[in-house]
Structure 1
Amino acid sequence: MQAARAAGKFRGKNKAPKWKKPDDGMVSVMVLPLTVTDTGDLDRLNKLFGAMWNIKRALQRDARNKVDAYWAAYHERNEQGAKAVRQRLGLSREALERCAYRHLQDSGHLKHHASKALAMHMADEVWNGVQRHLFPDATGHRFGRLKTGRWYDFTRIPGRARSHTTANKWETFRLVGTLHGHAKAYTDGEQHEVQQPRRMPKPTLPAGTVPTGKVTASGKPGIRKATWWDHTGPLAVVFAGGPDGTKGDLMLPVRIPQGPGQRARVEHFLAGPGRWHRVDLVRRRKPGTPGGWAYEAHLMILGPGYTAPAVQQMRQQAADLDRIGGVDGNVSNLSIVSFPASLDPAEDAPAVTEITLSAQEQTRLEKEAKKRRGRARALERSRRATNTAQYGLSKKQTRRAEHRAAKGLREKTVTVPGGARTARSDGVPKQAFRRDRLSEGYRQLRARQAEAAASAAKHRRHRARLVAQEIIATHGVNLTVEDCDIRAWYRLWGKRLSQTTPGMLIAALDRECQAAGGRLVRASTWSTALSQHCLCGQRINKTLRDREHKCIACGLVGKRDLVSAALAAFVRLTNVDDPKTAHLDTAMSRHAQITYGQGLEEALRESTTPNPTPVRRSGRVAVPRQRETSAHRTAEKRPRATPDETRPARDHAGKPGRHPGCEPQLTHW
């Protein structure tokens, strides 16, 4: 009887044909901020996240213990097989779901805040991590041992997808209302633009009855009580009824994006309720709000995301460009060179683009770094002030204490000790940092630091997307780049890469090429050695310090990065999915060098002529700049070889409609 109660009831296999996502399973997500003004709703949200965090932590601990037992059963896995051991230990998706149900039922209080559907999907989230640890991926690698996450890292409660075969079946978080009703409520009868108040009112449950469309046994039309499915007013996220059915519906008003250019995007996501698939409840740290958290609903819809008509037109024009190009990534710049696919000088000339940080971006990065250092110092002072017993006195504080003791003065209490942390003989701190007492100001400052880091990351992604669009609009969608490991660059040059983000730029360029119908092909550096060759085919050995290309065979002189990018355009691959099959077509590169002659050499050569006036070319800004000559670089001796040195600031002109600090420096020839 006890075993039957613990096992519970489970549904059997579905007898109907399995439903599949349309458009090859393509989905997209829209972030909808939630307005929580009622203290009761805020308290329920906090308790809901707390309950789900307890369930997830318990599942992670159970899964970690089971995985440890699985790896310890070495002889049993060899004798009976790994699958039999996993079944005995309960290492499966269904077993973790049953474990989540047991935690929910045995706790007594968790079922007042969370539901079985939420617990099941949380078990599925934990199983995904277990699966990545037990089974290797396509490259043969496994993820590490499972860990229990932190409370402040728990930010997402996965919802349950709605049923697309049964009407009005959405078991967890559901999005109710219509876009038309929302616009009608906040546009004064659709007479003005959407203007949502700061404190949005909560929609009310529809009152009265609605017809069911069926006829009763007495011949009268059937009616039923109105529910949230009949709500056609402003949009809201509803957690209907609550787990125990005593607290009523948790209703959270939704704030849609408003302002110029947002209407088409909002209609793409919210105009068709039939495409709504799932709603996840997400929170993020936001100092200044009640509770320190801002809540969002991540709506997943079936189908592709929104693409502006201007971006679609740009991608179509880029796809029509019959060009081949190469990309050379560096620590401080990104070089792109492209040629017409036919190498006909009558069609078009070679295009050369260099992307570096503009003066506005360098100034902004310096300000952000200064603020980041200030926050780090403030956090360290706060930790030392609240944990004085874990730190010793600095040399200056020690001398001051000895001087006061020599004069017979009373000992002065040090509020912020400046010495090293008390540690054992082997250097390990006596008390772990996680056990330190933290003040409320420390937590708020750390939250502001996390918010600033998230804002900076969003800015970098936006910049990378703009740069990628500029590149394919000029050089086409068929590009080749060297297959480099950015992690090795971080080991050599560290935080410098966080400013220029070459890996993020190349990843954004890859996405833009695929979206426009092309591809960014990766070529192995071992079989091509682009930086060690010339367009004529001659091998020119260079070190990382040598930033200028000089060929003794053909006399070509130019920037090392631009010459490598030009050679990347003539890389051929036997299998485009395998970078190791790449080889350099020196015959085509030599043909291009002869065809374009002096024009190509001038584009690849360093320009030492300053011209601070921006020049408009094809709707883009072309800014020639002052560069260091090779004599200047060779005259300055550095203790360490670097791939590229910081160049002088350049003049910059931004495009209309963009913030000047958000634009990278693009130099075209």
Structure 2
Amino acid sequence: MVLPLAVTDTGDLARLNKLFGAMWSIKRAVQRDARAKVDAYWAAYHERNEQGAKAVQQRLGLSREALERCAYAHLEGSGHLKHHTSKALAMHMADEVWNGVHRHLFPDATGHRFGRPKTGRWYDFTRIPGRARSHTTANKWETFRLVGTLHGHAMAYTDGGQHEVQQLRRMPKPAVAAGTVPTGKVTASGKPRMRKATWWDHAGPLAVVFAGGPGSARGDLVLPVRIPQGPGQRARVEHFLASPGRWHKVDLVRRRKPGAWGGWVYEAHLMILGPGHASPAVAQMRQRAVALDRICGVDGNVSNLSIVSFPAGLAPAEGAPASTEITLTDAERARLEKEAKKRRGRARALERSRRATNTAQYGLSKKQTRRAERRAAKGLRDKTVTVPGGARAARADGVPKQAFRRDRLSEGYRRLRARQAEASASAAEHRRHRARAVAREIIAAHGVNLTVEDCDIRTWYRLWGKRLSQTTPGMLIAALDQECRAAGGRLVRASTWSTALSQHCLCGERVKKTLRDREHKCVACGLVGKRDLVSAALAAFVRLTDVDDPKTAYLDTAMSRHAQIMYGQGLEEALRESTTPSPKPVRRPGRVAVPHQRETTAHRTAARRPRATPDEPRPVRDHAGKPGRRPGCDPLFTLW
């Protein structure tokens, strides 16, 4: 769960900035050490053949413990890093670096390795991993830890449950309660032993604490937590925060935001011991999907996603074939064009700013050169060009004389670049949300057992990159895989070499088609339909000898022919157009973002909140005109 941190104190912001700077220095140093060790490992070819790879790794220090010792050495060798971070955080950062090195040295289950470890950038460093809580030893949580209780947070920001939650913009930092608490032991005289209260005894508002670090002389770093309080958030908040015994790990994360002080906002990512939260509507939808006994095929395309399903028994009494096409509507295309126009405008503004700040690195454009020649012919003085429009100064081989990373950047350029990064992150999150919503609607209509062709969508970007960035078929298929697994099913991948779904018909005949041919016409059986829907229907009859190996897939033409005979005209209608209602639109504040259908007046009317009738009781309000608390109401309920 993502918990926003209400960090408004300038001292805390400065400490956070120095903490991220120190951790970035340690990570970069360990990454450079790891890269040098990896290069030496691959260079020792004869030594690996003679003594073995394990002996070479041990000599070079390519292990988790060796990288942790490197991090300790960098921390101890520097004089200033010890004032901002701790050895525990340095150890966790070395473990993060080792994970990348491990993926590079050792192949995964498919036999692939990751690339050579590289040193990242400062702006890409956004996460400081924390240590997991010990559930066997009491009060052992060394780095970032979440303190407080949800009930205490509700009592603090609702004035004891008297009104709705009021989490101020500048939330006060909670403090440890003064006094002593019993230890659970008794003295020789029979009196209970007491100790000073600590953060483990804090039961007030929620906060993230970094205690015991090098900055403990200035006090613990306490960051107030702002819990979500929007509509429908109560069940989700209680799932993650109601049981402190399930809290397992807290990572400190920062996110770019130009309007914030310093350009960053900070969050705490909480991990709990247990399953994730699913709303009642999503759980009910998954239950309905599990109850469907259907076989389903999926065909991913550049411009759409086609799904066709049949009853598992292939009997007309059990149901009819269903088909769905996921395409972009006019409203969705208009929204994407608007966002692309804004993105192009930001890119042009960034280029103008870079050229204006580094005029010596760019030449004059043809228009600017002709104007300079005309002024020189008339005897006028040269006009200063603030934004040169020509090519960048380069060598004979085309390499720029000065690297782009050495250019001077204005403050406006940095702000505009941050706004561009924020807009890109927001658009990516919207695409992921849209993919999850569409995947849930698909499994609710077609079941949780799907088959799709095993295609490498990365190769499609060489020809249709712009279109793929709009439709995102890979993201939709990945979301389908996640939803199928969450509901107890599976998305099976079949090889295109052994099946060739787009080149076959349901009757078993081979019908050759080029990429330009978007309609399927079979001369043998007379079947006519959309090419993508026919491929999706054939995918439902793909069988695999080993479900984990796509190469063992083959097409069961006998079953596909049997389904064609059993359903006849109903199947042809399903292959000509979609027979299921389009998934629900994904709305965004202030705009219409409909992925699959246009929003009509009936949709807008149905989406409005129904007005209260005269028979309904009005909400109780206090003397200030604000909603108050009903007698006997749960104080925590006023949070939402």
Do they fold alike, i.e. is TM over 0.5?
yes
Q: Where does residue 50 of structure 2 map in the other structure?
A: 79
Structure 1 residues 67 and 272, CA gap change in structure 2 (3 angstroms) = same
Any unmatched runs of 5+ in structure 1? 1-29, 608-616, 623-652
Q: State the alpha-carbon separation in 1 of the partners of residues 534 and 256 from structure 2.
A: 46
Kindly state the Cα deviation for residue 191 of structure 1 after the two structures are TM-superposed. Answer: 4.0
Q: Where does residue 516 of structure 1 map in the other structure?
A: 487
Structure 1 residues 532 and 122, CA gap change in structure 2 (3 angstroms) = same
Q: State the alpha-carbon separation in 1 of the partners of residues 130 and 253 from structure 2.
A: 10
Q: How does 1:35-74 map to 2 (within 5 A)?
A: 35-74=6-45
Q: Is the 8 A contact 2:585 2:597 kept in 1?
A: no
Matched, 1:664 2:562: no
Q: Where does residue 325 of structure 1 map in the other structure?
A: 296
| Partner secondary structure for residue 268 of structure 2 | strand
Q: Where does residue 633 of structure 2 map in the other structure?
A: none
Query: Which of 345, 354, 372 is equivalent to 1:401?
Result: 372
Q: Is the 8 A contact 2:585 2:596 kept in 1?
A: no
- Per-residue CA deviation, residues 197-252 of structure 1 (Å, 9 max, x unaligned), is 22211112211111111123554321111111111000000111431531111100
Q: Is the 8 A contact 2:297 2:539 kept in 1?
A: yes
- Per-residue CA deviation, residues 341-388 of structure 1 (Å, 9 max, x unaligned), is 111112211111111012221111011000000000000000001110
Q: State the alpha-carbon separation in 1 of the partners of residues 210 and 573 from structure 2.
A: 66
Matched, 1:451 2:422: yes
| Partner secondary structure for residue 96 of structure 1 | helix
- Per-residue CA deviation, residues 312-354 of structure 1 (Å, 9 max, x unaligned), is 1111111111111111111111111111111111221111111
Q: State the alpha-carbon separation in 1 of the partners of residues 452 and 143 from structure 2.
A: 46
Q: How does 1:38-437 map to 2 (within 5 A)?
A: 38-217=9-188, 219-437=190-408
| Partner secondary structure for residue 373 of structure 1 | helix
Kindly state the Cα deviation for residue 139 of structure 1 after the two structures are TM-superposed. Answer: 2.3
Q: Where does residue 541 of structure 1 map in the other structure?
A: 512
Q: State the alpha-carbon separation in 1 of the partners of residues 588 and 567 from structure 2.
A: 37
Q: How does 1:453-472 map to 2 (within 5 A)?
A: 453-472=424-443
Kindly state the Cα deviation for residue 603 of structure 1 after the two structures are TM-superposed. Answer: 2.3
Q: Is the 8 A contact 1:481 1:520 kept in 2?
A: yes
Q: State the alpha-carbon separation in 2 of the partners of residues 423 and 233 from structure 1.
A: 62
Q: State the alpha-carbon separation in 2 of the partners of residues 546 and 399 from structure 1.
A: 50
Q: Is the 8 A contact 1:60 1:146 kept in 2?
A: yes
| Partner secondary structure for residue 185 of structure 1 | helix
Structure 1 residues 170 and 392, CA gap change in structure 2 (3 angstroms) = same
Q: Is the 8 A contact 1:354 1:666 kept in 2?
A: no
Structure 1 residues 666 and 582, CA gap change in structure 2 (3 angstroms) = farther
Kindly state the Cα deviation for residue 658 of structure 1 after the two structures are TM-superposed. Answer: 9.3
Q: State the alpha-carbon separation in 2 of the partners of residues 132 and 560 from structure 1.
A: 40
Q: Is the 8 A contact 1:238 1:250 kept in 2?
A: yes
Q: State the alpha-carbon separation in 1 of the partners of residues 216 and 423 from structure 2.
A: 40
| Partner secondary structure for residue 120 of structure 1 | helix
Structure 1 residues 442 and 507, CA gap change in structure 2 (3 angstroms) = same
Q: Is the 8 A contact 2:587 2:594 kept in 1?
A: no
Q: Is the 8 A contact 1:355 1:666 kept in 2?
A: no
Structure 1 residues 654 and 87, CA gap change in structure 2 (3 angstroms) = closer
Structure 1 residues 292 and 394, CA gap change in structure 2 (3 angstroms) = same
Q: State the alpha-carbon separation in 2 of the partners of residues 217 and 606 from structure 1.
A: 85
| Partner secondary structure for residue 35 of structure 2 | helix
> How does the TM-score come out when normalised to structure 2?
0.91
Matched, 1:577 2:577: no
Q: Is the 8 A contact 2:323 2:577 kept in 1?
A: no
Q: Is the 8 A contact 1:241 1:247 kept in 2?
A: no
> How does the TM-score come out when normalised to structure 1?
0.87
Q: Where does residue 506 of structure 1 map in the other structure?
A: 477
Q: State the alpha-carbon separation in 1 of the partners of residues 135 and 273 from structure 2.
A: 11
Equivalences, count: 598
Kindly state the Cα deviation for residue 659 of structure 1 after the two structures are TM-superposed. Answer: 8.1
Matched, 1:487 2:458: yes
Query: Which of 566, 569, 590 is equivalent to 2:561?
Result: 590
Q: State the alpha-carbon separation in 1 of the partners of residues 546 and 593 from structure 2.
A: 38
Q: Is the 8 A contact 1:401 1:412 kept in 2?
A: yes
Q: Is the 8 A contact 1:549 1:559 kept in 2?
A: yes
Relative contact order higher in (CA < 8 Å, ≥ 6 apart): 2
Q: Is the 8 A contact 1:463 1:662 kept in 2?
A: no
Amino acid paired to 1:401: A
Amino acid paired to 2:544: L
Alignment RMSD: 1.8
Q: Where does residue 635 of structure 1 map in the other structure?
A: none
Q: Is the 8 A contact 1:111 1:244 kept in 2?
A: no
Q: Where does residue 625 of structure 2 map in the other structure?
A: none
Q: State the alpha-carbon separation in 2 of the partners of residues 388 and 658 from structure 1.
A: 42
Any unmatched runs of 5+ in structure 2? 599-640
Amino acid paired to 1:663: V
Kindly state the Cα deviation for residue 513 of structure 1 after the two structures are TM-superposed. Answer: 1.2
Q: State the alpha-carbon separation in 1 of the partners of residues 90 and 296 from structure 2.
A: 51
Q: Is the 8 A contact 2:246 2:273 kept in 1?
A: yes
Q: Percent identity?
A: 85
Amino acid paired to 1:335: S
Kindly state the Cα deviation for residue 655 of structure 1 after the two structures are TM-superposed. Answer: 8.6
